[in-house]
Structure 1
Amino acid sequence: MSSAAPRFPLGPFTPYGENPIMRPRGDSWESSNLYNPAAIVEDGQVLLLYRAHAEDIVSHVGLARSDDGYHFEREDQPILSPEHDYESHGCEDPRISKIDGTFYLTYTGYDGTTAQLCLATSTDLHSWTKHGPILPEGFDTFAPVSGNTGRTWSKAGVIHPNKIDGRYFMYFGEGAIFYATSEDLIHWTPCPNDQPIYTPTKGDWDEALVEIGAVPVQTDDGLLIFMINGARAGEQTRVDYRCGQIAIALNEPTQVIAKMTRPWLRPQTFEELNGLVSNVTFVEGLVWFKDRWLAYYGQSDTTLAVAEYVPGRDSYNA
């Protein structure tokens, strides 16, 4: 991913004036809710792999393409749908990396009770090989937050496409954030469940949970910049989800060395304050495209939006 010398924190980002850029449509598989997209640039286009579902709330992953990053043409049918017991209630919240001609898609397989971080691979974005859940049974990314153990629960994996010290790193987690390493990008070894690298901040905007967002941006001065999501109880709603950033140094890839002290995006518009899960901005896609950064996010689990950062703009005002 090329860029105009990214630095931490990345931004400022400004929500696009014509958001939402995608909404549910028709009476099909994407008729009720459409949100939480992965993003990647291919052949001069921005591609979004987005989560959507009908009233049954069984999620599928769809594919949309854009020449300008704002206006998208969707394929009629989903490219990834539930097939197995572990994902019987949905294929949710994708993130994507391309490495040596292969797309590595992480997503949440949900069976109605348990969420598990899963992996699928493809060379054409249409024919997928599913590798199933990739973390050990009993790994619970909420355990450091809740204090409870014994449950299996995991979500949200982003794979850094370049090796660090001869290994690939994946950063993952909802509740707290962890890392895992791999030699082959298929089999992953996580850090200990009781040793997350990032946890919620008591009394802050992310005091209830943190969740990894988009695939990291590598800076010229040796940092990986991660979009993250954080939540706390809302004043009038059960949640308040906002978007922040953290940084990890390439020479210490298991330690968070910096964080934004306030979010760069928070719920403000009607769509962000009203929806399936109200009061939510949730980022999962980030690309460098046509001299700007584009961050794609879900609005209240119902619509899909974008914020842009053109290098040279003023400081944060979120």
Structure 2
Amino acid sequence: MNKPKSLIITAAATILVSCQEGRQTQTSITPDWTLGGFQRPEGVNPIISPDSNSVFLDPMSGKQVRWEENDTFNPGAVVKDDTLFVLYRAEDKFGIGIGFRTSRLGLASSTDGLHFERSEEPVLYPADDSEKQYEWPGGVEDPRIAVTEDGTFVVFYTQWNRDTPRLGVATSKDLRTWEKHGPIFAKSKYTKLMETSHKSASILTTLKNDKLVVTKINGKYWMYWGEHGVKGATSENLIDWEPVLDDKGELAKFIETRPGYFDSALTECGPPAILTDKGIVLLYNGKNHDEKEQADSRFTLGTYSAGQVLFDKNDPTKVLDRLDTPFLRPMEDFEKSGQYVDGTVFLQGLAYYKSKWFLYYGCADSKVGVAVYDPAKASPFDPIP
């Protein structure tokens, strides 16, 4: 594996560990395995916002639909040739509340990672196909995308039929025409998953020849997934996945929520994980608890912030380290207004582009934002209140 020098971080930004009951007060140097800090480019965000002019002939209803009129959020990101692409979730106005409209995936391209041109129509959406039982009427949600060394793009997304959310997978060679392969656990020996809610898949990648590509560990593809505790799964072909089980034959959890911390309610996997010389770095979305007694008092109840955890590069189930405070949190107005006013930075897209790291995230379930980490210029994490 090429040594990703962009991950050798020398920033001496400090993080404060909470002094809430049960924890000691201390100050420590940011561990050298972490990614970032990420800075929001001035005058750029949000990079993608709802557009009522985009019209699409919906194959399910047979009607013209303003498919990205209500919200645009939760993006995945990948590089193709010299262009950075974002695949983002868009909701129409048919329905009230998060999850009760129809979601489709739009495509946007950029040559600087900051300014985007959007396709007029969605590229992945519910249709009269083999997946309609899983994808209609709720749609396709929350894409996390990566690319193999041979140029095959793979996206893991939530299939939402307004009954049970399931992880689905699709592949493409051009990012515009996608082949759906269905639920990733459809052939799993752990049959209970097909009837159990599951989402948020972060496939393992590595930086090779300045390109972030899908990689294997111990001879298999690997992913982290889940929102109530981080779980794992392996695959031989990127399409069919087997979850990692514990010694009791149930789903193994490698990290879980922590009362009194920023991730006290949820630990939801973010963009593709990265295999580095230090280990496997997973960026994840932590939700602060809605109940004051369980939450981290420094953050708004119910707010989503971003954490990092390090796993052993030879044993992806083994946790080596974990940040106690978020490295990115809702601070800007566009991150605290929209569908989710408690505040949300929801990470899903990570790309290495022109010697910098571009992190794409959903803002309050309403818009798309970007933050950039330049390894040549050390910068701190978001400040802790």
In the superposition, the TM-score normalised over structure 2's length comes to 0.76
The alignment status of 1:212 with 2:235, answered yes or no, reads no
Unpaired runs of 5+ residues, structure 2, are 9-32, 54-65, 95-100, 205-213, 293-298
CA 265–317 in structure 1, closer or farther in 2 if over 3 Å, else same = closer
TM-fit CA distance, 1:22 = 1.0
CA 101–289 in structure 1, closer or farther in 2 if over 3 Å, else same = closer
Give the AA of the match of 1:74.
Answer: R
Aligned to 2:282: 226
Aligned to 2:226: 173
Aligned to 2:61: none
The alignment status of 1:257 with 2:308, answered yes or no, reads no
The alignment status of 1:82 with 2:83, answered yes or no, reads no
Contact 1:169–1:182 (Cα < 8 Å) also in 2: yes
Give the AA of the match of 1:115.
Answer: P
The alignment status of 1:12 with 2:37, answered yes or no, reads yes
Contact 2:72–2:366 (Cα < 8 Å) also in 1: yes
Alignment partners' CA distance in 2, 1:172 and 1:315: 28
TM-fit CA distance, 1:175 = 1.4
Aligned to 1:145: none
Residue by residue over 1:228-278, the C-alpha shift from the partner in whole angstroms, topping out at 9 and shown as x without a partner, is 000023579762100111111211112222111210111112211111122
1:118 to 148, 168, 174: 168
Alignment partners' CA distance in 2, 1:67 and 1:252: 37
The alignment status of 1:30 with 2:68, answered yes or no, reads yes
Give the AA of the match of 2:34.
Answer: P
Aligned to 2:14: none
Aligned to 1:144: none
1:295 to 338, 359, 381: 359
TM-fit CA distance, 1:222 = 4.3
TM-fit CA distance, 1:3 = 4.9
TM-fit CA distance, 1:35 = 0.6
1:60 to 104, 113, 120: 104
Contact 1:38–1:50 (Cα < 8 Å) also in 2: yes
Which has the higher Rg, Structure 1 or Structure 2? 2
CA 249–86 in structure 1, closer or farther in 2 if over 3 Å, else same = same
Alignment partners' CA distance in 2, 1:35 and 1:61: 10
Partner SS, residue 239 of structure 2: coil
Partner SS, residue 253 of structure 1: coil
Aligned to 1:272: 335
Task: Give aligned-pair identity as a percent.
Answer: 37
Partner SS, residue 316 of structure 2: strand
Contact 2:73–2:88 (Cα < 8 Å) also in 1: yes
Structure 1 segment 96-175 matched on structure 2, within 5 A: 96-99=145-148, 100-135=150-185, 137-139=191-193, 152-160=196-204, 161-175=214-228
Partner SS, residue 193 of structure 2: coil
Contact 2:263–2:289 (Cα < 8 Å) also in 1: no
Contact 1:36–1:304 (Cα < 8 Å) also in 2: yes
Aligned to 2:378: 313
TM-fit CA distance, 1:110 = 0.6
Contact 1:3–1:288 (Cα < 8 Å) also in 2: no
Alignment partners' CA distance in 1, 2:3 and 2:356: 11
Alignment partners' CA distance in 2, 1:47 and 1:97: 11
Residue by residue over 1:71-103, the C-alpha shift from the partner in whole angstroms, topping out at 9 and shown as x without a partner, is 000000100001311111110000112112211
Partner SS, residue 138 of structure 1: helix
Contact 1:2–1:288 (Cα < 8 Å) also in 2: no
Contact 2:108–2:116 (Cα < 8 Å) also in 1: yes
Alignment partners' CA distance in 1, 2:354 and 2:255: 33
TM-fit CA distance, 1:5 = 3.1
Alignment partners' CA distance in 2, 1:317 and 1:25: 30
Alignment partners' CA distance in 2, 1:250 and 1:288: 20
Partner SS, residue 169 of structure 1: strand
How many residues are paired up? 307
Give the AA of the match of 2:50.
Answer: P
Contact 1:32–1:55 (Cα < 8 Å) also in 2: yes
Structure 1 window deviating more from structure 2 (1-10 vs 45-54): it is: 1-10
The alignment status of 1:188 with 2:241, answered yes or no, reads yes
